[in-house]
Chain A
Amino acid sequence: MPRQLIEHIKLQITFFWRNRLIRVIGLFVLIILSVTLIPSIILKSPETRFGLIRSIQKDIGTFTMIVGLALAILTMHYHTSSRCIKMVLTKPCPPEWWVLSVFISTALVCSCLELLGVVIATSLSIAWKIPFQMGIIFVALEGIAQSTVAFSWGILLTAFLHPAVAVMIIIVIQEKMFYWLMIITMGAMQGMTSPTRRFISQLIQQLLACCYMIIPSYAPFADKLKGVHLSYRVFAGDWAYLGYILGYALLFAAFCYLITALIFTRKRYI
């Protein structure tokens, strides 16, 4: 890995560590997790302990996704709006390295948080004498993939939009929304007799299908992997799905990186 890229990554990690807003977000989520989980750990009966382990890992996964997204958006916004990026871009260092460092450092933090989830879940399993299930690893890897998709999408949007607008888009515009709109349009088309109306509806449907394909999917194959999430038992076929999920996340991150780097090099920061 080039030395300059490593220096950028170190810088981003320092930014994460010292940024007050990130600390507040982290602390807030941590408090919520503690308030809801600690009493459950103490009070739960032995029969429901397995469910609690699942719940803890799920919550840590959600927390990782939120934190990853916040880190990515804040890093992009802080460095471009405060224009300190100017000090970097007037050095003989490709801007693409800097963009890549945002992706890598955020992925590192997300991976560490998911690892923390694995450690907690494994420790509780050992403490409560519940047999270790590969599902713990499976869910953590899936969580890393989900967080990667989320923060990559956030970085791409923040490259050309205000972070508030980017967050709104991430929350509001989701693949499910387009899926349901497609279903509604299909239903409406069945009752149409006028060829013009049918043509317009078909056009809208194609457009919605296009959006559906473009908008990132945070949990692809969710229906196929329900069993893994419930029992933490992983069968041979499930690993293939995990491979697809990780592949999709990497591809999507690469796509977001390329577009962000392109936008970044086109903008006038100097």
Chain B
Amino acid sequence: MGSPQFDRIAYLPEEPHYHLYLTVEEAIRYYGSLYREAIPQRRVREVMELVGLSEFNDLLLGKCSKGMKQKAGIAASILKECDLLFLDEPTRGLDPIATKEFRDILMQMHRGGTTIIINSHILSEVEMVSDHVAIMDHGRVLVQDELRKLMQLDRNLYSVEFGACADVPEYVVVERSEDGVIRGTLPSGMLSNFLSFAQGKGLAVYECSLKKNTLEEIFMDVLKGVRNAPAAD
């Protein structure tokens, strides 16, 4: 607690509990003043502008919405240039525009040399910003690797999307069928058969690519693998 190392490490707690009796600007300025070198007022204003809080500087934190409080926490955590930034569920309560802007800020910080560690349950968000991922279950790291390696293309399956027809070949596993479009997967060995079938029927093929795993699918596979594995002696 209060370690000098926090001078180069920033942290946004999962449920930041703020000094609700302070205004937005007072709170950010106060948090900035606790560093070894006080953050100048100009930087405080700059960060408030960046997270979209500049027009609420006189509003008491106690009267702010959840999203605004989260923005204040984000502002406090990015006030000072740091080497390591820990973010625990950072997009809680943020609207889509704020989430996108926050993502851009993170990318910019990362390009500037900051290592960012995000703890999140929103896997699509992690997929968008991370280059290294660790999947944890009950405090244990199950998988840890580069995201591109984890999400590598599945060379055995093709993902296809084509115009609806009555007799879909049995090797096509239909995932979704709506608005006259069928979406499914097929084994890579059956690709030429499928293309002949589509050509023969005169079906429009909208998409045909090697199947890419989403982080959610990887997560589920990893967890299933762990839960189905026999218990160690």
Q: Interface on A for B, CB 8 Å cutoff?
A: 3-4, 7, 11, 14-15, 18-19, 79, 82-84, 86-95, 265, 269-270
The answer to whether A88 and B34 touch (CB under 8 A), given A14-B26, A94-B2, A265-B1, is: yes
Q: Is the CB of B1 within 8 A of A87?
A: no
Total CB contacts across the A-B interface at under 8 A:
70
Identity of the chain B residue whose Cβ is nearest the Cβ of A97 in the assembled complex:
B2
Q: Would you mind naming 8 contact pairs between A and B with Cβ atoms under 8 Å apart?
A: A4-B34, A83-B17, A89-B1, A92-B5, A92-B6, A93-B2, A93-B6, A270-B13
Determine how close the nearest CB of chain A comes to the CB of B162; give it in whole angstroms. Answer: 53
Q: Is the CB of B21 within 8 A of A89?
A: no
Q: How large is the interface on B (under 10, 10 to 19, 20 to 34, 35 or more residues)?
A: 20 to 34
Q: Is the CB of A95 within 8 A of B2?
A: yes
Identity of the chain A residue whose Cβ is nearest the Cβ of B26 in the assembled complex:
A14
Q: Interface on B for A, CB 8 Å cutoff?
A: 1-7, 11, 13, 16-22, 26, 30-31, 33-36, 38, 73, 76
Identity of the chain B residue whose Cβ is nearest the Cβ of A11 in the assembled complex:
B30
The answer to whether A86 and B34 touch (CB under 8 A), given A92-B4, A92-B7, A269-B1, is: no
Known: A86-B17, A90-B6, A91-B6. 19 other contacts (CB 8 A): A3-B38, A4-B33, A18-B21, A87-B16, A87-B17, A87-B76, A88-B2, A89-B1, A91-B2, A91-B35, A92-B2, A92-B4, A92-B5, A92-B6, A92-B7, A92-B36, A93-B2, A93-B34, A94-B2
Identity of the chain B residue whose Cβ is nearest the Cβ of A16 in the assembled complex:
B21
Instruction: For the complex, give the distance between the alpha carbons of A94 and B35 in Å.
Output: 11
Determine how close the nearest CB of chain A comes to the CB of B30; give it in whole angstroms. Answer: 6
Instruction: For the complex, give the distance between the alpha carbons of A4 and B11 in Å.
Output: 19
Identity of the chain B residue whose Cβ is nearest the Cβ of A3 in the assembled complex:
B38
Q: Is the CB of B22 within 8 A of A14?
A: yes
Instruction: For the complex, give the distance between the alpha carbons of A7 and B26 in Å.
Output: 11
Find chain A residues with CB under 8 A from B2 CB: 88-89, 91-95
Instruction: For the complex, give the distance between the alpha carbons of A4 and B34 in Å.
Output: 6
Find chain A residues with CB under 8 A from B30 CB: 7, 11
Instruction: For the complex, give the distance between the alpha carbons of A83 and B13 in Å.
Output: 11
Find chain B residues with CB under 8 A from A90 CB: 1, 6, 11, 13
Find chain B residues with CB under 8 A from A265 CB: 1
Q: Which of A18, A19, A265 has the most CB of B within 10 A?
A: A18
Q: Is the CB of A92 within 8 A of B3?
A: yes
Which of B22, B35, B76 interacts with A92 by CB under 8 Å? Answer: B35
Identity of the chain B residue whose Cβ is nearest the Cβ of A268 in the assembled complex:
B1
Q: What 3 pairs across the A-B complex have the smallest Cβ distances? A: A91-B34, A83-B17, A92-B7
Find chain B residues with CB under 8 A from A4 CB: 33-34
